[in-house]
Structure formats: structure tokens, C-alpha cells
Amino acid sequence: MKKNILMIFLATTILYYFTCSVWATPINATETMQDDITTVEEIDELNLNSDAAILMDATTGEILYEKNINKKEYPASITKVMTALLAFESNKMDETITFSHNAIFDIEPGSSHIALQEGEQITMKQAMYALLLRSANEAALGIAEQVDGSVEKFAEHMTQRAKELGCKNTNFINPNGLHDENHYTTAYDMALIAKEALKFKEFKEIIQTTYYEIPPTNKQQETRYLYGQHQMIKPPSIYVYEGCEGGKTGFTDEAQNTLITYAKRDDTELIVVVFQCKGAQHYEDTIKLFDYGFSQYKTVKLSSIDDISQTIPVLDKETEIDSIIAKPNEEIYKTVPIDFDISKMTKVVDKPENLTTSIHENDIIATVTFYYNKEVIKTVELLADHSVSLENNTILASTQNDKKISDISPSYFHYFNIAIKIIVFAIICSIIAFLIAFIICRFISWRKRKKRHLARVKRKRRLR
């Protein structure tokens, strides 16, 4: 009997495990089907020389090409893009920097500088041009001290801000990128930082500049003439590229050449970041990536905020007391293949007919799903534009779909249904397996009893 029970248990366990393994697969498959219609190419397609590289859509953040994008690398002076970002975010562009002793003398001899002196004063704006055009290391230290009081605090600020942007493998020790073993980032992380910097039009103006003058100061009687270093916007360089908006160069012996570059054609703006390049490989690889990106993809506007905003009445005891405007927090863009035909796109709005519960600002009220050739290409959440408080905090009433507000997102509801179906199916299979095993065991037991009965009959016959 114990053996029979053991057999039943083993049969049930094996079938249950098999069922869960097989039927869990469609969840991932469904997620794959709902992924963006753009695809990332294999890393060997373009035969890049860079140790790590990324091509990203500057508007949508979608990755169009990647090579070792999460590998830790030394950034060298492209670090200064993060320094510039924090400077712009500090809103201190109108302030004047007085350069300290440490800012002037804490840089490596022979490294990039514009010969600023201790006690010299220039504006933050002028320091930014020195930072991004001439890669002036003392300018980076002066900016750091102006923003956060010390280089150490600024470096902590840099790392923390990187984490806020979604960077996962970045640690900054200084604002200029001079070599330190603990100063590192990745192609992916640096692309996120580069994308964020584009939000400031002043940043874009500076990186597109090839020439700038800093007039005489309290310590320098002569004008300083600053020339940009990025060769893709400097005729007659052979690397000048159509649509290039500039970027930031970097070099140390340990990092070799690093480069961030922006380029825009029509409504499509791309970012390229490359690491560990020798000679002119950083420009050659960047051009390869841009050529690939502009020939294969484009950025399209799927919808404006107003086009998909929904007005939903709020009821209190069947009386309309207010209305919520459910809208996205930004206009909707998507990176698509170059042959994408927007006239074939459709959209479906999933919203309640009315609300009878207290609503907080930015609560998810509805969703809009965009389809192309009957496949989901993007789902957007619509958020409440203000809060509404009701005395009777009842459940959301919707004559259209009778769903709770927390279940409005079709993706959550979809996956929840799949999970329930899998569990129910597994339980049914387990019960069937148990019954089959039980019948088999009963049959085996009956066969054994029959054999013993026949054996006893034969023995009785022989005794006679």
C-alpha cells in the first residue's frame, strides 16, 4: 500500500512539473510578441572596432544597435557631458566662478586646459564652453565647486544622478574624466546621460559651436580663442557628417579614444557612444552606426497629448460633480522601420465610462494601445490631471467593462488571466494524474490478489 501511495505521489509531481514548465512558456512568448517592432542588430553586422558601442534614438530611447553596452569602460572626457548636465540643472548659468587653488592645480600636468589662474573669474556659461569645446579640466573642477561646494560632493552627485536616470554600472570619482580605476561607466549608461543632456537647448548650442571667445578677465589681459574638437562638424575634416550636431570627445592612455555624437535628419535624432578606439576608429565606427540607423529606422509621432486625452465624468451618488481629463505625460513617439506607413496604424482606447471613487492626480485612469498590422507597437497610460475626493469611496463604476481602476491596464489583466488559466490547468492535470495513477494502482493490486487466489487454488488441488 505504501508503494502504491508513493507511485501516485511521484506520478502527480512529475505531471504537475511538466505541465507548469510547458504552459509557462507562452507568457514569455506573449511578451516577445508585444515587444517593440524595432529590433537590435547582431553585434558583428557592422564590424565595429570599438570595444563597446551603442546607437540610441534620442527621442524614444530605443536601442537600435549594441555591442557590449553593459561592459564597464573608462569614459575619459566624455564624463564632462554629465558635468554639463548637472551644471545646467543647477540653474547657475548667470553666476561667476572664482577659480580656487585646487581647481587650478588638481589636474594632471599636460592634460587639457585653457590656462586659467588661481583667483581668475569667468562666468558659468564661459566655463561651459571651455568644458565642452576645449575639454578644459580645470573648468570642470571649477564648475563642480560652484555647483556643490566641492569636487567630492559633486562626484557623489554625478553618481546619484546617473542612478536616477537608470544607469546601472556607473561610478564617477571626478568631473573631468581623468583616469581613476573607480571612475567608470558603460555605453548604455552614457547614452542615457547624453539623452538627458539634450533637454537643455544651451547644451545643444554649445556642442554645435566650433569657435568661441572668452574676453579678457581679471587675471588674463588677452582673449582666449576656443576651437571645438569634434571632427564631424569641422570642415574640411574628412569625417564631417550630414546632420551631425556635435558631441564630446575623450582620450586617456587607459581609455583610448571615446566619443559621444549626436546627429539629426528630419524628425529622427540619434545618439552614438563608442569606447576604446584607436586612431580614427571612433569617427569611423560612429559614421557606420549613423549610416545604419538613418537607413533602417525613423522616429514617428504616434499622437499628441490632446489627440488621445479622454474626459471622464466623476459621479457622486449618480450626480456628476466633476470630470477628470486622462492624458499622457508627454507626446507619443516611436522608433519604427524606415518603411513604416502610419496610415496603417490604429489605436484602441480602454477607459471607464465614469468614475465613482476618489482619484489622485497622476493615477492611471485609462490606456491607449497602438496597433500596426494588427500587432501591438505601444501602450500608453493616461493619467488623471487632478485629484477628486469623494465622501463615499466606492468602487469604480464602468458600464462599458465593469473593471476596477487598478485593472484598467490590459497588459496586467492579460497576464493575470494567463496565470489563473495555468494554475487551473495544472490543478486539473494533477487531479487527472492522481485518478489515473489510482486506477493503475488498483488494477495492479487486483492483479496481484487474483494471482495469489489462483496460487492458493493450485496448492489446494495438489494437496488433494
Q: What is the pTM of this model?
A: 0.76
**248 catalytic per annotation:** no
Q: Which helix (H) or strand (E) holds 309?
A: none
Q: What is the pLDDT of residue 448?
A: 77
Residue predicted with more confidence, 356 or 119: 119
**77 catalytic per annotation:** yes
Q: What domains sit in the chain, N to C, each tagged with a CATH number?
A: 52-298 (3.40.710.10), 304-408 (2.60.410.10)
Q: How far is it, in rounded angstroms, from Cα 458 to Cα 463?
A: 9
Q: What is the pLDDT of residue 412?
A: 46
**389 catalytic per annotation:** no
pLDDT at 6 over 80: no
pLDDT at 214 over 70: yes
Quick one: residue 374, left, alpha or beta (phi over 0 = left, psi -120 to 50 = alpha)?
left
Assign 391 a pLDDT band (cuts: 50, 70, 90): low
Residue predicted with more confidence, 417 or 252: 252
Q: How far is it, in rounded angstroms, from Cα 34 to Cα 110?
A: 53
CA atoms within 13 A of residue 362's CA, in its CB half-sphere = 2
Residue predicted with more confidence, 362 or 43: 362
Q: What is the pLDDT of residue 300?
A: 97
Q: How far is it, in rounded angstroms, from Cα 284 to Cα 89?
A: 33
Arithmetic mean of pLDDT over the chain? 86
Average pLDDT over residues 348-356: 94
Q: What is the pLDDT of residue 153?
A: 98
User: Which entry of 80, 125, 334, 351 is annotated as an active-site residue?
Assistant: 80
Q: What is the pLDDT of residue 411?
A: 45
Q: What is the pLDDT of residue 421?
A: 74
Q: What is the pLDDT of residue 415?
A: 56
User: Which entry of 50, 77, 100, 409 is annotated as an active-site residue?
Assistant: 77
Q: What is the pLDDT of residue 27?
A: 29
User: Which entry of 135, 303, 398, 409 is annotated as an active-site residue?
Assistant: 135
Q: What is the pLDDT of residue 71?
A: 97
Q: What is the pLDDT of residue 390?
A: 81
